[in-house]
């Protein structure tokens, strides 16, 4: 059963917090500081991209207009935004925009957290690492991301994307709905946009559009 969740997290100095205040690292795999440092950076870059995506969502959302005019405006802004339409689908109903707005807010709340637990799992000790490729979370209680040994070999941008994906789980997107990787995410946005705004992979790809 693929209940296992891909990803992890890290943050630096975005809100004036130093990395050592941000993370609680449980280093079961016994990595050195040098090995862990790049993951912290990947987390930070993922968070920055998420903040950019959230800001863009707010630009779509904010208006003084009321009622139908308000939603017409939000919808036309959304549909003019290639990043949003590619990954979350063309907006045809208000619900899509409302769900995405709420989700991006919650993801930022989860990722930009004072205490983030990162567990570095050793291969033989973690059942979950045998089945999932990179990382997993238990979306309950504290924000905690478990990184498997394989995670260390991902490129930095993949690590950032994986962190954002896990943060999706940590902010209430519990299920993948069989949407994994780029091609499935694009197809879901086209064919089932409501499904796209309910799965972490779609949000992870959207956020990566703002990755610098």
- Residues near Zn ion (CB under 5 A): 5-6
User: CB 1 → Zn ion: shortest distance, Å?
Assistant: 13
Instruction: Specify the residue, 92 or 187, whose C-beta has the smaller distance to Zn ion.
Output: 187
Chain centroid offset of residue 181 CA: 13
**Nearest by Cα to 173 from 85, 93, 127, 111:** 111
Residue sitting closest to Zn ion (CB): 5
User: CB 162 → Zn ion: shortest distance, Å?
Assistant: 9
Buried/exposed 77-104: b ≥16 CB within 10 Å, e otherwise? bbbebeebbbbbbebeeeebbebbbebb
User: CB 52 → Zn ion: shortest distance, Å?
Assistant: 22
Instruction: Specify the residue, 49 or 75, whose C-beta has the smaller distance to Zn ion.
Output: 49
Instruction: Specify the residue, 104 or 164, whose C-beta has the smaller distance to Zn ion.
Output: 164
User: CB 190 → Zn ion: shortest distance, Å?
Assistant: 21
User: CB 194 → Zn ion: shortest distance, Å?
Assistant: 19
User: CB 132 → Zn ion: shortest distance, Å?
Assistant: 8
The phi, psi pair for 120, rounded to 5°, reads -95, 110
Instruction: Specify the residue, 98 or 192, whose C-beta has the smaller distance to Zn ion.
Output: 192
Whole-number Cα distances in Å, 22 to 14, 71, 159: 10, 38, 18
What 3-state DSSP class applies to 156?
A: helix
Q: Residue 134: which H helix or E strand, with range?
A: none
Instruction: Specify the residue, 5 or 51, whose C-beta has the smaller distance to Zn ion.
Output: 5
Alpha helices for 62-93 (secondary structure H): 67-79, 82-88
Angle at 90 between CA 85 and CA 96, to 5 degrees: 100
Instruction: Specify the residue, 85 or 177, whose C-beta has the smaller distance to Zn ion.
Output: 177
């Amino acid at each position: 059963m693929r209940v296992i969740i891909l990803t992890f997290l890290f943050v630096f100095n975005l809100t004036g917090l130093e990395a050592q205040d941000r993370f609680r690292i449980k280093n079961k795999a016994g990595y050195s500081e040098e090995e862990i440092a790049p993951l912290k950076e990947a987390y930070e870059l993922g968070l920055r991209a998420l903040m950019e995506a959230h800001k863009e969502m707010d630009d779509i959302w904010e208006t003084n207009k009321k009622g139908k005019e308000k939603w017409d405006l939000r919808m036309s802004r959304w549909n003019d935004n290639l990043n949003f339409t590619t990954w979350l689908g063309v907006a045809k109903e208000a619900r899509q925009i409302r769900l995405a707005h709420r989700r991006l807010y919650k993801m930022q709340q989860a990722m930009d957290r004072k205490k983030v637990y990162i567990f570095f799992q050793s291969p033989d000790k973690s059942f979950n690492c045998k089945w999932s490729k990179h990382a997993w979370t238990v979306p309950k209680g504290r924000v905690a991301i478990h990184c498997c040994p394989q995670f260390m070999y991902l490129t930095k941008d993949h690590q950032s994307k994986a962190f954002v994906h896990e943060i999706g789980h940590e902010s209430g997107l519990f299920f993948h709905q069989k949407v994994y990787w780029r091609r499935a995410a694009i197809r879901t946005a086209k064919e089932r946009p409501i499904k796209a705004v309910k799965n972490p992979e779609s949000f992870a790809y959207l956020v990566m559009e703002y990755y610098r």
